[in-house]
């Protein structure tokens, strides 16, 4: 990566939350002080050994870290490459990487003395992870979820309710993740004095993209250490799915300085030639959505377009500002996989490795299978297996006829 060698990605974002032209704080004035407060609380916590110890404690003893790095022999054979390793975030408590971030942010909530937590959720994974930590720490929790997503993720809705969280249906706009974020921000503007908003991805105003990335960077750090034990200094590729982009950035952040090629796989939905996709980095343009500047799917008048994906977790017309910057600088490459590719990826991984991935994660496998000629026999690929597929079985059983 010679052209990006000069950029020190580890110093990003800058003090005002910018990643090159992206990032920043584009929110109503009412929230500006709360964002400053959150940044201050995070910076203090980060350098406090007590906080770091507590965070590690819960990651280990509650969430189940470290997660294994599983060698996928048969899948590697299918691709015709030397090795494929799977970072097993699917084995975490609640079934996905989302819990890494919610533990961190719940601890911040307690430090800031806030009494209530709100969150948005698409597939319900972040909602469940938030409901879980709120139950653990005794914090009142409300989760906003689009009406359409409530209908396609009934199991996760029930899990949240069982955990004592109130799930608030969002009936405005597209009734999916985008509108759940709008509604959560509206709640936060109203109740900012006693409420912390746990954003679930590397999106939103600064400092969220930084905080969520840092809490998820445990994925990459563990992967790096596990590869080292296997005698591998750097893989040839790191591959992960990208909606907002938290699992991918969690993995990528450790390897930004390495020689590894970083590939983010977006959801191409029914195809990039249709308007029914969520491929923000492939087909978006620069704009402001949900508090930060990044690439967004929009029309020529600046109205945000509706996204589509078979996976509710990727069904989002924006993307984290750091991803937009990694694309712009050429440090990471962003590709896409359709709904059908994802179903294929799910099927192949299930049958070759005995692991059923979440539909979101399945996009990464679908891409690899569809593009296997680009990978060479001597190469080593790491894939972030960000979540397990249990939550998707009802939906998938309707479209995948076995």
Report, as residue numbers or ranges, the catalytic residues.
Answer: 98, 120, 386
| CB neighbour list of residue 10: distance below 8 Å, 6 or more residues apart | 256, 257
Q: Is 189 in the site for other proteins (CB under 8 A)?
A: yes
Q: Is 192 in the site for other proteins (CB under 8 A)?
A: yes
Q: Is 298 in the site for other proteins (CB under 8 A)?
A: yes
The Cα-based distances of 279 to 77, 112, 146, 189, 236 in angstroms read 29, 36, 20, 30, 24
The Cα-based distances of 74 to 344, 354, 389 in angstroms read 16, 10, 19
Region of residue 17 (left: phi > 0; alpha: psi -120 to 50; beta: else):
left
Q: Is 20 in the site for other proteins (CB under 8 A)?
A: no
Q: Pick from 53, 273, 300, 398: which binds other proteins (CB under 8 A)?
A: 300
Stretch that binds other proteins, among 162-170, 244-252, 283-291, 382-390 (CB under 8 A): 283-291
Q: Pick from 185, 242, 355, 362: which binds other proteins (CB under 8 A)?
A: 185
Q: Is 324 in the site for other proteins (CB under 8 A)?
A: no
The tokens describing 16, both together, are: 């005002």
Which residue has 């004035």 as its token pair?
29
Q: Pick from 44, 56, 154, 190: which binds other proteins (CB under 8 A)?
A: 190
Of 301 and 398, the one with the shorter C-beta distance to other proteins is 301
Alpha-carbon gap, residue 31 to 282, rounded angstroms: 31
Q: Pick from 12, 34, 211, 240: which binds other proteins (CB under 8 A)?
A: 34
Q: Pick from 10, 303, 354, 398: which binds other proteins (CB under 8 A)?
A: 303
Tell which residue, 200, 122, 106, 192, has the closest CA to residue 156: 122
Q: Pick from 133, 199, 289, 310: which binds other proteins (CB under 8 A)?
A: 289
Of 194 and 394, the one with the shorter C-beta distance to other proteins is 194
Q: Is 16 in the site for other proteins (CB under 8 A)?
A: yes
The tokens describing 3, both together, are: 């052209």
Q: Is 291 in the site for other proteins (CB under 8 A)?
A: yes
Q: Is 313 in the site for other proteins (CB under 8 A)?
A: no
Q: Pick from 4, 147, 191, 282: which binds other proteins (CB under 8 A)?
A: 191
Q: Is 145 in the site for other proteins (CB under 8 A)?
A: no
- How many C-beta atoms lie closer than 10 Å to residue 373's C-beta? 8
Stretch that binds other proteins, among 32-40, 67-75, 125-133, 254-262 (CB under 8 A): 32-40
| CB neighbour list of residue 47: distance below 8 Å, 6 or more residues apart | none
Using CB under 8 A as the binding rule, the residues of this chain from 197 to 236 that contact other proteins are: none
Which residue has 């494929």 as its token pair?
84
Would you give the end-to-end CA distance of the chain in angstroms?
A: 43
Q: β-pairing, 292-296 with 285-289?
A: antiparallel
Residues within the interface to other proteins (CB under 8 A): 16, 24-34, 36, 172-173, 178-179, 182, 185-186, 189-193, 286-291, 293, 296, 298, 300-304
């Amino acid at each position: 990566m010679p052209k990006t060698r000069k950029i020190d990605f580890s110093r990003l974002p800058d003090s005002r939350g910018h990643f090159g032209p992206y990032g920043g704080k584009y929110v109503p004035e009412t929230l500006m002080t709360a964002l400053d407060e959150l940044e201050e609380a995070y910076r203090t916590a980060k350098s406090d050994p007590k906080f770091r110890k507590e965070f590690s404690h819960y990651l280990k003893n509650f969430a189940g870290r470290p997660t294994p790095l599983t060698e996928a022999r048969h899948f590697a054979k299918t691709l015709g490459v030397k090795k494929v390793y799977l970072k097993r975030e699917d084995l975490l408590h609640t079934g996905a990487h989302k819990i890494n971030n919610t533990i961190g942010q719940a601890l911040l909530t307690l430090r800031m003395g806030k009494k209530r937590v709100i969150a948005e959720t698409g597939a319900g994974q972040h909602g469940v992870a938030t409901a879980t930590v709120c139950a653990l720490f005794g914090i009142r929790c409300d989760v906003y979820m689009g009406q359409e997503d409530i209908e396609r993720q009934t199991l996760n809705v029930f899990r949240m309710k069982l955990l004592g969280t109130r799930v608030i249906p969002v009936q405005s706009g597209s009734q999916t993740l985008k509108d759940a974020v709008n509604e959560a921000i509206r709640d936060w503007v109203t109740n900012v004095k006693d409420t912390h908003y746990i954003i679930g991805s590397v999106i939103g105003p600064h400092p969220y993209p930084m905080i969520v990335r840092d809490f998820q960077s445990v994925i990459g750090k563990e992967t790096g250490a596990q590869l080292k034990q296997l005698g591998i200094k750097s893989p040839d590729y790191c591959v992960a799915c990208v909606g907002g982009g938290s699992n991918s950035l969690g993995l990528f952040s450790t390897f930004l300085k390495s020689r590894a090629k970083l590939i983010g796989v977006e959801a191409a939905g029914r195809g990039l030639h249709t308007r029914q996709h969520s491929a923000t980095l492939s087909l978006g343009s620069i704009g402001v959505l949900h508090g930060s500047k990044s690439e967004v799917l929009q029309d020529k008048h600046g109205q945000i377009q509706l996204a589509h994906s078979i996976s509710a977790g990727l069904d989002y017309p924006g993307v984290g500002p750091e991803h937009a910057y990694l694309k712009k600088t050429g440090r990471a490459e962003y590709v896409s996989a359709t709904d059908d590719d994802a179903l294929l990826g799910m099927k192949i991984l299930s049958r070759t490795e005995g692991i059923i991935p979440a539909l979101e994660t399945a996009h990464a496998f679908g891409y690899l299978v569809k593009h296997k000629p680009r990978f060479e026999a001597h190469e080593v690929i790491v894939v972030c297996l960000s979540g397990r597929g249990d939550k998707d079985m009802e939906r998938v059983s309707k479209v995948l006829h076995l």
